[in-house]
């Protein structure tokens, strides 16, 4: 082992999850209904043909709502943390369900039972010497804010958000250093698809010709809210580290044709402008020009722009799963549609859900962001969704997952050790099997720990160590030297 390939001693090897995908207990201890609570289960074959999870107007009595169950982590976390401590993790990324703290989102006083739950959970992590990393909003905003205010299209959401942010920062800021505001805020770039619009911004029931405008408007209010959160956090405690969270899927040109290269460049600028604004405090000129050209009439004030400029994030959190390719559409504004203009990369294999496997893209992503934004980074998601088979002896042979992680960690190490990019930690998705966000399936598994539950919630709920468990354990123990 060449010594120059060693990772920093304080590197945070961890795992990542999100409240709505594992806690269950959707209506316990005063919790309100979140957007995840009105999403029925989907399934892979529907997703492959463009289908999505159906969103119901209210909670239907006999609907299959997998997020209502999760893996019952609300009740099992003490045992699960024991197992995760055995895995050796140094960090655990989860989110705070906004609806446990403010059930409807517009109350002035928080729900003490919800606050207490996270107090206890954080204390349990700390007992195991696991660093908590918290996302404030991970696809689980109060449904009441969607129905009554139209979600983030409404400027009032900034105040509701800040109320929530202040309560949790004050309550947990003495024990939690790393925070992120909005999970994968840039997923809504696929505004032609109603799923990310609801998940990111609570946008539902809008005329389709307004989708693009609403997405940019909602995103602007979120960017202001995020900057104000950074301001607030530093007022509360200067040590707090506030990050954005970007879904990073490199978009490569389909060929070396200059038009394809230009299109891919714009696709990257487009998908990652949220990172640009968060990190540099400025909207890019091309985007302001595009808004004008499309006559989108986005509501943004000089005061908003000053706030954004004055309070950039401390770090850039990002997820990395796959890369895409794009072909020139011939549009002079370089407009393209993610659904229609992405193609297959002939050099890459895909997962069973069609996600292209591209380890080199991790190093590319980190270099791309570092050169532009100059902020420390944190890989807060990376993983491989697969159909795992539990054997009768309780083993699960997931060599495909080990291969995925091995190659991605190798690429990450090159970015850190050779390219000298500051990286705080690596939290693979999802440590323990949980409900898939896009499909609602349990069958799309990401964990090192198998959970015996199926798509209908049937099963013992027992936890089993997969082969990847022992493998990741030695990765952590060796600080990434043994892969």
Shortest distance, position 352 Cβ to ligand BG6, whole Å: 11
Considering the rule CB under 6 A, would residue 381 count as an interface residue with ligand BG6?
A: yes
Considering the rule CB under 6 A, would residue 246 count as an interface residue with ligand BG6?
A: no
Q: Is 472 exposed, middle or buried (0-12, 13-18, 19+ CB in 10 A)?
A: buried
- As a whole number of angstroms, the distance between CA 120 and CA 209 comes to 46
Strands 423-426, 241-247: parallel, antiparallel or unpaired by DSSP? unpaired
Q: Is 314 within 8 Å of 241 (Cβ atoms)?
A: yes
Considering the rule CB under 6 A, would residue 437 count as an interface residue with ligand BG6?
A: yes
Q: Which residue is nearest to ligand BG6 (CB)?
A: 438
CB atoms under 10 Å from CB of 328, counted, come to: 20
Shortest distance, position 308 Cβ to ligand BG6, whole Å: 24
Q: Which is nearer to ligand BG6, 402 or 437 (CB)?
A: 437
Considering the rule CB under 6 A, would residue 95 count as an interface residue with ligand BG6?
A: no
Catalytic, out of 23, 276, 381, 441 = 381
Site string for ligand BG6, 302-321 (x = CB under 6 A): -----------------x--
Q: Can you read off the two tokens belonging to residue 142?
A: 């109060």
Q: Which is nearer to ligand BG6, 355 or 364 (CB)?
A: 355
Q: Which is nearer to ligand BG6, 69 or 444 (CB)?
A: 444
Shortest distance, position 18 Cβ to ligand BG6, whole Å: 5
Q: Which is nearer to ligand BG6, 159 or 454 (CB)?
A: 454
Considering the rule CB under 6 A, would residue 201 count as an interface residue with ligand BG6?
A: no
Q: Can you read off the two tokens belonging to residue 255?
A: 């060929």
Q: Which window, 22-30, 236-244, 367-375, 434-442, contacts ligand BG6 (CB under 6 A)? A: 434-442
Considering the rule CB under 6 A, would residue 429 count as an interface residue with ligand BG6?
A: yes
Q: Is 307 within 8 Å of 228 (Cβ atoms)?
A: yes
Residue 185 belongs to what H/E stretch?
none
Q: Is 271 within 8 Å of 189 (Cβ atoms)?
A: yes
Considering the rule CB under 6 A, would residue 18 count as an interface residue with ligand BG6?
A: yes
Shortest distance, position 328 Cβ to ligand BG6, whole Å: 27
Q: Which is nearer to ligand BG6, 21 or 201 (CB)?
A: 21
Q: Which window, 76-84, 302-310, 438-446, 467-475, contacts ligand BG6 (CB under 6 A)? A: 438-446
Which residue's entry shows tokens 């944190």?
A: 378
How many helices (H) and strands (E) the chain has is answered by 18, 13
Give the one residue of 241, 249, 325, 436 binding ligand BG6; rule: CB under 6 A: 436
* Known catalytic membership, residue 381: yes
Q: Which is nearer to ligand BG6, 437 or 453 (CB)?
A: 437
Q: Can you read off the two tokens belonging to residue 180?
A: 């992120």
Shortest distance, position 20 Cβ to ligand BG6, whole Å: 8
Considering the rule CB under 6 A, would residue 385 count as an interface residue with ligand BG6?
A: yes
Nearest to 290 by CA among 325, 332, 242, 235: 332
Q: Is 209 exposed, middle or buried (0-12, 13-18, 19+ CB in 10 A)?
A: exposed
Q: Which is nearer to ligand BG6, 21 or 323 (CB)?
A: 21
Which residue's entry shows tokens 């404030």?
A: 136
Q: Which window, 54-62, 371-379, 412-420, 430-438, contacts ligand BG6 (CB under 6 A)? A: 430-438
Angle at CA 250, nearest 5°, toward 246 and 251? Answer: 125
DSSP class per residue in 2-60: -GGGPPPTT-EEEEE--HHHH---TTSTT---BGGGGBPP--HHHHHTT----B-SS--
- Residues forming the site for ligand BG6 (CB under 6 A): 18, 21, 139, 183-184, 247, 319, 381, 385, 429, 436-439, 444
Catalytic amino acids?
A: 381
């Amino acid at each position: 082992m060449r010594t120059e390939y060693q990772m920093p001693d304080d590197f945070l090897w961890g795992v990542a999850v999100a409240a709505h995908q594992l806690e269950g207990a959707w209506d316990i201890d005063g919790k309100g209904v979140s957007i995840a609570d009105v999403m029925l289960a989907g399934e892979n074959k529907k997703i492959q043909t463009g289908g999505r999870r159906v969103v119901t107007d209210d909670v239907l009595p006999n609907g299959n709502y997998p997020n209502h169950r999760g893996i019952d982590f609300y009740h099992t976390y003490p045992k699960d943390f024991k197992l995760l401590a055995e895995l050796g993790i140094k960090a655990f990324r989860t989110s705070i369900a906004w609806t446990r703290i403010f059930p409807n989102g517009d109350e002035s006083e928080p729900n003490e039972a919800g606050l207490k739950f996270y107090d206890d959970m954080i204390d349990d992590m700390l007992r195991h010497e696991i660093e908590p990393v918290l996302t404030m909003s991970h696809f689980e905003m109060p449904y009441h804010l969607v129905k009554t205010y139209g979600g983030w299209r409404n400027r009032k959401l900034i105040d509701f958000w800040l109320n929530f942010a202040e309560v949790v920062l004050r309550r947990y800021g003495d024990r939690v250093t790393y925070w992120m505001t909005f999970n994968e805020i840039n997923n809504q770039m696929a505004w032609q698809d109603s799923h990310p619009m609801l998940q990111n911004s609570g946008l539902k029931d809008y005329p389709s010709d307004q989708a693009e405008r609403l997405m940019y408007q909602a995103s602007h209010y979120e960017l202001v809210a995020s900057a104000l959160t950074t301001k607030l956090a530093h007022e509360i405690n200067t040590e707090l580290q506030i990050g954005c969270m970007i879904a990073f899927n490199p978009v490569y040109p389909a060929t070396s044709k200059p038009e394809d290269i230009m299109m891919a460049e714009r696709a990257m600028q487009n998908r990652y402008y949220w990172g640009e604004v968060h990190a540099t405090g400025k909207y890019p000129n091309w985007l302001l020009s595009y808004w004008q050209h499309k006559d989108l009439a986005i509501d943004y004030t000089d005061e908003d722009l000053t706030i954004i400029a004055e309070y950039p994030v401390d770090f850039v959190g990002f997820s990395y799963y796959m890369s895409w390719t794009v072909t020139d559409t011939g549009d002079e504004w370089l407009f393209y549609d993610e659904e229609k203009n992405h193609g297959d990369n002939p050099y890459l294999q895909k997962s069973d859900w069609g996600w292209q496997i591209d380890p080199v893209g991790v190093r590319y992503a980190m270099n791309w962001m570092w050169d532009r934004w100059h902020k420390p980074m944190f890989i807060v998601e990376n993983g491989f969704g697969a159909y795992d088979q539990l054997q009768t002896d309780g083993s699960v042979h997931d060599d495909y997952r080990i291969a995925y992680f091995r190659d991605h960690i190798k690429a990450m190490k090159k970015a850190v050790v050779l390219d000298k990019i500051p990286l705080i930690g690596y939290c693979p998705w999802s440590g323990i099997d949980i409900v898939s966000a896009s499909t609602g399936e349990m069958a799309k598994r990401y964990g090192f720990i198998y959970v015996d539950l199926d798509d209908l919630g049937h099963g013992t709920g027992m936890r089993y160590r997969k082969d990847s468990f022992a493998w990741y354990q030695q990765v952590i123990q060796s600080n990434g030297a043994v892969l």
